[in-house]
A and B are shown apart, each in its own frame.
Chain A
């Protein structure tokens, strides 16, 4: 499948989302208070600018939608095998692992666990997981030890620089 063909399909789906989003912005802008009780000038109502922006996004979304249909982007030709191959590809796996580990750190560890503990754990897990994907198995003992040392030094150093040198209060304890 060519890059242009994939982009047409991506444009087809994203233009639908964009158009719906634009319509949503227009509707929500119309629902914003018009402050008639304060006798404000009709040209200064809070919804006027986002309303115009929503209108633009709707029109632009429709333009991409029409273009993607002309280019055959609506032929999504989704099938189970294709999806499975795509989901199992190294690119998607690397992205998914990165998203899961980074989100886990930022949402769960960072706000709840003391920084000097949470950060080395995150760095170690990230390095080991991504190196395991790179080498096709768990890294050897030397690499694991390097990852551990890197995680501890980096975690403690960042903690020191932010907290003690630049007086940033860190969360999680």
Chain B
């Protein structure tokens, strides 16, 4: 009940102040950022973090949440009209959205995507309000051992799920991120590691410049490397018929919202998997499986419900464990720390109202996204007419200024450049970016937790394995690794086949 009152108070205070204007412009900007191929939600949130760091904490976080929600939704527009997902989270959207647009149903497709995103966002928001306080209380029992395993678990799972074809590359990306986090003065004795006398390196690698590089410059290089794209020119129908069509599949939207939230909750997995997992579940349970990939309303609705539900889902571990559920959530976590908010297990004790403020922010951003998405269908299409040759240099200027603005250091611009080129090469070699970023965020937790744990147990390694929560985490991580091994999967497949044969006989 206290939570509901805090939520209502937060909604009221935002709506009755200038913050309401922030909700509108930041969500609209988010939609535009998401629409433009080459601009991702992560980059949008990172650039806005650099612009808002002199604002009051609540106002800045509100703007960033609106950008995040708007961008994940905005990517559906380019997926539908260009067959190019605006953000990686909208890849599944393109499978059915683009065929619908080519069939002259672009308006309907955009409305279905909007309805799905609103549904998913609201389901995720309810989950955030319900799960966050419980998880925060549970996390109070976490010690060094549990945090160590949480970091390992996060990197391994994120590495695996973001690189399903080749999990080892996902894990390498994650461990590279963990290593990058160890550069600079370490947190126990203040010994500089891998700095080689450089005062800039002693301060460590900033998460924001690294992210602006990995998601900004790397994306610019990727976009410029490939051929130009053309928007679909077919006639478009009305958006209102799309809403009616989407309503027919309300249960698909609810299921996708729940799956998306769950995917968001898992560290470093986020919206991309939220979308794909929801799409796969919808396809498996659909009566019209054959329509998937050819313009299925159900498929489009599931993909968009799944990715937008993952946004509040990804905020749950951010608030309660200080572990990001996705790459944009990692930036949001960094922004919270910059503004003096301390996410983690103590959040419900130190500032319980903040969790419900974030719930209110997600709620208002989702509503604004729905309204703007439906009302501005035609004007927003104009954004896609900007050519990449004219857009990319402006994005790069924003990346450069954004990296510099955080601490007014030219060193951060170099960090951005390094991670841009490094990120581009890694992408071309099929190494995912999300585990790398999660590794940078979790590196400090892993470093301190392992060393503290070893001191507490006096070098006794068993204590890392036999505590109940640790046990769940390491067994889950181990199972995940084993299940990716082709030989183990083959063996399991053979076992199940034999069992099934035995059952039939």
Contact with B along A91-121 (1 / 0, CB 8 A): 1001100110111011100110001000100
A61 to B417, CA, bound (A): 25
Q: Are B194 and A28 in contact (CB under 8 A)?
A: yes
**Interface SS of B by simple majority:** helix
Choice from B182, B388, B392 contacting A53 with Cβ under 8 Å: B182
**Interface SS of A by simple majority:** helix
Choice from A46, A98, A110, A150 contacting B186 with Cβ under 8 Å: A46
Complex contacts, A166 vs chain B, CB 8 Å: 51-52, 54, 405
Choice from A52, A154, A167 contacting B394 with Cβ under 8 Å: A154
- Min CB gap B267→A, angstroms: 18
Please give the number of chain A residues whose Cβ is less than 8 angstroms from any Cβ of chain B in the complex. Answer: 65
* Shortest Cβ distance from A126 into B: residue: B393
Q: Are A127 and B390 in contact (CB under 8 A)?
A: yes
Q: Are B397 and A122 in contact (CB under 8 A)?
A: yes
Complex contacts, B404 vs chain A, CB 8 Å: 110, 168, 170-171
* Shortest Cβ distance from B190 into A: residue: A46
Contact with A along B39-82 (1 / 0, CB 8 A): 00000000000111010000000000000000000000000000
- Min CB gap A96→B, angstroms: 10
Choice from B168, B225, B397, B400 contacting A154 with Cβ under 8 Å: B397
- Min CB gap A26→B, angstroms: 11
Complex contacts, B182 vs chain A, CB 8 Å: 49-50, 53
Q: Are B417 and A103 in contact (CB under 8 A)?
A: yes
Choice from B52, B228, B400 contacting A106 with Cβ under 8 Å: B400
Choice from B179, B413, B446, B451 contacting A110 with Cβ under 8 Å: B413
Q: Are B172 and A111 in contact (CB under 8 A)?
A: no
Q: Are A126 and B405 in contact (CB under 8 A)?
A: no
| A98/B220 contact (C-beta < 8 A), A35-B189, A50-B193, A64-B168 known | yes
Contact with A along B202-240 (1 / 0, CB 8 A): 000000000000000100110011101000000000000
A10 at the interface (CB under 8 A from B): yes
* Shortest Cβ distance from B50 into A: residue: A168
Q: Are A57 and B413 in contact (CB under 8 A)?
A: no
Q: How large is the interface on B (under 10, 10 to 19, 20 to 34, 35 or more residues)?
A: 35 or more
| A43/B172 contact (C-beta < 8 A), A91-B225, A94-B225, A134-B228 known | no
A69 to B167, CA, bound (A): 18
A110 to B459, CA, bound (A): 50
Complex contacts, B398 vs chain A, CB 8 Å: 158
Complex contacts, B430 vs chain A, CB 8 Å: 7
Complex contacts, A130 vs chain B, CB 8 Å: 224, 388-389, 392
Q: Are B221 and A99 in contact (CB under 8 A)?
A: yes
| A91/B397 contact (C-beta < 8 A), A28-B194, A162-B51 known | no
| A122/B224 contact (C-beta < 8 A), A46-B191, A168-B401 known | no
Task: Using CB atoms and an 8 Å cutoff, list the residues of chain B in contact with chain A.
Answer: 50-52, 54, 168-169, 171-172, 175-176, 178-179, 182, 186, 188-189, 191, 193-194, 217, 220-221, 224-226, 228, 388-390, 392-394, 396-398, 400-401, 404-405, 408, 410, 413-414, 416-417, 421, 428-430, 446-447, 450-452, 454-455, 458-459
- Beyond contacts A44-B188, A52-B450, A64-B169: 5 other A-B pairs, Cβ-Cβ < 8 A, are A10-B428, A47-B193, A53-B178, A53-B179, A110-B413
22 A-B contacts, Cβ less than 8 Å apart?
A: A38-B189, A42-B459, A43-B455, A50-B193, A53-B182, A54-B179, A56-B175, A57-B175, A64-B172, A98-B220, A98-B221, A99-B421, A102-B217, A106-B417, A107-B417, A122-B396, A126-B389, A126-B393, A126-B396, A154-B393, A166-B52, A167-B54
